[in-house]
Chains A and B, each alone.
Chain A
């Protein structure tokens, strides 16, 4: 663990148990960036807690928490420029916060209301934030991996220096698109950083049943790209490793596979109960490595953290989310027209006809099908 750079074997880490940075490893980020990362990570956790509570109260339909993975995705995305593109999976809620997406845009999506950018067409957390170069999320696993490769190929064709970062989990490495995407990116030297957040579980299936490979990072060699393993609960290590990968990509040296080794502290989703299939002991071990607590100790040592500041972040986050939720709940459902719009750029005659059919219906509207939580 004394290495000063990452490899495909033991996860590279910087933060030690007492909050010190390992010798010669500290990336020496500015106090502003360090505080920003911490604030985003804490706000992400508050946001997750609030969203799950809303789901439990039956006010939103579904939620996926990123509890325990805040360092993994926030640290990775922080290595990018704002002009770089993100191809997220569904467990990176800290990235929109990092990119300063307005809370209303996030919360309205949970409610699928008239203010939702996606017009209530997707389940909660399937965001799209074009202003933040955060590409629309879908539920099928791994499909975004090939998109990132293709976008990277396009940027090379155009001569742009944009870098692309794709996120997926350990389960995603079994998908077709993990192979396709990495293969194409390798062949075409696409400027992509593939971030596998290895949280050990794909719903109820543990990593050992997902792959017999000694690590995910080593699979990169099959695609002619470097693969590195990093402690995913160590925001400084994730940031540093991803920064190197981003710079490689920007210089035209091609893609990198980064495996962040972390743990899904929550259940898969609001519809899942991980206690049914996971050992509580392992859970407690990972709790000891909580990414926020570890980073807090580091900041404390650097005199960048105080209890007052911690309180202030929590209170601000809770207040702002509360206000955004209030506004979101006051908004109506999307208009009936929005059901038919956006299938194509223009309505086809068939869609015009179907819309008219729905509009012409008389009598009481059907009751909503089912109530939350499902």
Chain B
């Protein structure tokens, strides 16, 4: 075990897999010589050369389009999109091409690639360095969507994503890149996609959260505990495919559910989780399923602390499941 930050775990995962499989290549804007704007790819070009870790022109469409071509030809591309807010030029390639390649070709051609991208707010990034647009990708059949919340999960999930035979959108909560620290297994460490994690056990309310929201929910759970509420926190880790049984079993035990996420509320992935709980655990619910998310506004700059779910709002959400 080594203690590292979530950001260092990204680098460790990439390095581990590049050593393990010489088909793995890492590329994107500024990932080579500079090592990425957040330094997630620092040292990789030195160790693996400019053939396997390289800078590209400033074009997300081109980064993903060429990644698809590479995957079709049989190498393992790990493309970085500098901020998730800039992924939209690549949307057509992701949704129309990567996601559909296996299906539309009857399995003749596949697209095993990873698109890594820092996402989410809390770094004073304004509209264009803060968004949580995971729902767009979850809505597209053929894509897996992964969001880690701890350094160990980051390494294990990223390695699993690189080894996966299907396209994976791997979203990194940049707000906790350097603040999330923890023990990470050295060398080989795989966390299977599709398996969630019980962050803490509790009996009164299930809180489902992912990415940077997990830590907020842990603080909120501590506060709730002081008020006599025992909170169970579930981190799905993979949004697609979702570990439904883990969430449903928890809700059946607690009878209450709050879903916490940063994205705008309407048509959010939190809404999907709420719908699943309502559809499959209605007989166990003792109160409404509550969504605590961003607001249906563009992501703000000066008032981002009010936009993002915080301890206060998570606590309010928890109370709503009792008093409605």
In the complex, chain B residues 37-83 whose Cβ is within 8 Å of any chain A Cβ: 51-52, 56-57, 59, 61-62, 64-75, 77
CA distance A344 to B72 in the complex (A): 15
Complex contact A147–B166 (CB within 8 A): no
Q: Inside 8 A of B64's CB, which chain A residues have their CB?
A: 146
B92 and A176 form a contact (CB under 8 A): yes
Q: CB within 8 A of B62: which of A118, A119, A148, A184?
A: A184
Closest to B96 in A: A140
Tell me whether A121 and B104 are in contact in the complex, defined as CB-CB below 8 angstroms, given that A140-B92, A148-B69 are known contacts.
Answer: yes
CB contacts under 8 Å to B, within A127-144, are 128-130, 135-136, 138, 140, 143
Query: Is B182 an interface residue, CB under 8 A from the partner?
Result: no
Q: In the bound complex, do residue A150 and residue B105 qualify as a contact, i.e. CB atoms below 8 Å apart? A: no
Complex alpha-carbon distance, A126 and B101, angstroms? 12
Inside 8 A of A85's CB, which chain B residues have their CB? 73
Q: Which residue of B lies closest to A181 (CB)?
A: B65
B106 touches A116 (CB 8 A): yes
Task: Name the distance in Å between A93's Cβ and chain B's nearest Cβ.
Answer: 17
B75, A154: Cβ atoms under 8 Å?
A: yes
Counting contact residues on chain B (CB < 8 A from A), the size range is 35 or more
Q: Roughly how many angstroms separate A179 CA and B144 CA in the complex, as a whole number?
A: 28
Whole-angstrom CA separation of A147 from B70 in the bound complex: 7
The answer to whether A174 has its CB under 8 Å from any CB of chain B is: no
Q: How far is the CB of A350 from chain B (nearest CB, A)?
A: 6
CA distance A85 to B69 in the complex (A): 11
User: Which chain B residue shows the least CB distance to A334?
Assistant: B106
Q: Are A154 and B144 also in contact (CB < 8 A) when A118-B104, A126-B104, A180-B65 are?
A: no
**If the complex has contacts A121-B104, A146-B68, are A183 and B62 also in contact, measured as CB distance less than 8 A?**
yes
Residue of A nearest to B59 (CB): A180
A153 to B241, CA, bound (A): 31
A345 in contact with B108 (CB, 8 Å) = no
B104 contacts A122, C-beta separation under 8 Å: yes
Interface string of A170-196 (1 = CB under 8 A from B): 000000110111011001000000000
Most buried by B among A116, A126, A348: A348
Query: B89 at the A/B interface (Cβ < 8 Å)?
Result: yes
Q: Is there an interface contact between B69 and A153, defined as CB atoms closer than 8 Å?
A: yes
- Which residues between 53 and 94 of chain A lie within 8 Å of chain B, taking CB atoms? 85, 87
- The answer to whether the Cβ of A349 comes within 8 Å of any Cβ in the partner chain is yes
Whether the pair A152, B93 counts as a contact (CB closer than 8 A) is no
B106–A117 CB distance below 8 A? yes
Closest chain B residue, CB of each to CB of A136 = B105
With the chains together, A316 CA to B100 CA distance in Å? 36
Contact of A135 with B72 in the complex, beta carbons under 8 Å = yes
Within 8 A of B (CB), among A274-295: none
Contact check, B106 vs A143: say whether CB atoms are below 8 A apart.
no
User: Nearest Cβ in chain B — how far from A154, in angstroms?
Assistant: 4
A154 and B70 contacting across the interface, CB-CB below 8 Å: yes
Give A240 Cβ to nearest chain B Cβ, in Å.
27
Contacts of B96 in A (CB 8 A): 138, 140, 143
Q: Are B72 and A343 in contact (CB under 8 A)?
A: no
Contact partner of A342 (CB less than 8 A), chosen from B71, B73, B107, B242, is: B107
CA distance A181 to B92 in the complex (A): 14
Minimum C-beta distance from A209 to chain B (A): 22
Asked whether A146 and B109 contact (CB < 8 A) given A136-B101, A183-B62, A350-B241, the answer is: no
Are A180 and B69 neighbours in the complex by a CB distance under 8 Å? no
**Bound Cα distance from A150 to B67, whole angstroms:** 6
For the complex formed, measure the closest distance between the CB of B166 and the CB atoms of chain A, giving whole angstroms: 5
Q: Which residues of the partner chain B approach A343 to less than 8 Å between Cβ atoms? A: 102-103, 141-142
Task: Report if A184-B66 is in contact (Cβ < 8 Å); known contacts: A143-B96, A344-B166.
Answer: yes
Contact B108 A154 (CB under 8 A): no
Which residues of the other chain, A, contact B62 by a CB distance below 8 angstroms?
146, 149, 177, 180-181, 183-184
Of B65, B89, B92, which one neighbours A150 at CB under 8 angstroms?
Answer: B65
A362 within 8 A of B: no
Measured CB to CB, the closest approach of chain A to B278, in angstroms, equals 16
Expressed in whole angstroms, the minimum distance between the Cβ of A374 and any Cβ of chain B is: 20
B194 is an interface residue with CB less than 8 A from chain A: yes
The reply to whether A130 and B109 contact each other, CB–CB distance below 8 Å, is yes
Chain B 220-255 interface residues, beta-carbon cutoff 8 Å to A = 240-242, 244-245
Is residue A151 within 8 Å, beta carbon to beta carbon, of the partner chain? Answer: yes
B131-156 toward A: CB 8 Å interface, digit per residue (1/0)? 00000000001101000000000000
Q: How far is the CA of A89 from the CA of B13 in the complex (A)?
A: 37
- A258 vs B73: C-alpha distance when bound (angstroms): 23
Which residues from A are CB-within-8-Å of B52? 157
Asked whether, in the complex, the Cβ of B141 is within 8 Å of the Cβ of A128, the reply is no
Nearest A-chain residue to B95, judged by Cβ:
A140
In the complex the two chains form, is B105's CB within 8 Å of A184's CB? Answer: no
- Any B CB within 8 A of the CB of A265: no
Complex contact B108–A130 (CB within 8 A): yes
Is there contact, CB below 8 Å, between A349 and B244? yes
* Nearest CB in chain B to that of A140: its residue: B96
Residues in chain A near residue B71, CB distance under 8 A: 150
Q: Which of A157, A345, A350 contacts B242 (CB 8 A)?
A: A350
Taking the closest CB of chain A, its distance from the CB of B295, in whole angstroms, is 29
Q: A122 — which chain B residues lie within 8 A by C-beta?
A: 104
Interchain residue pairs with CB less than 8 A apart (20): A85-B73, A122-B104, A126-B104, A130-B105, A130-B108, A136-B101, A140-B92, A146-B65, A147-B69, A150-B65, A150-B73, A157-B52, A162-B73, A176-B89, A177-B93, A181-B65, A343-B142, A344-B165, A344-B166, A345-B165
6 more A-B residue pairs beyond the given contacts A136-B108, A146-B66, A150-B70, with a C-beta to C-beta distance below 8 A: A85-B73, A143-B97, A147-B65, A149-B65, A180-B61, A180-B62
Which 9 pairs between the two chains have the least Cβ-Cβ distance? A150-B69, A146-B65, A150-B66, A180-B62, A136-B105, A128-B105, A348-B241, A147-B69, A151-B69
Task: List B residues at the A interface (Cβ < 8 Å).
Answer: 25, 51-52, 56-57, 59, 61-62, 64-75, 77, 89, 92-93, 96-97, 100-110, 141-142, 144, 165-166, 194, 240-242, 244-245
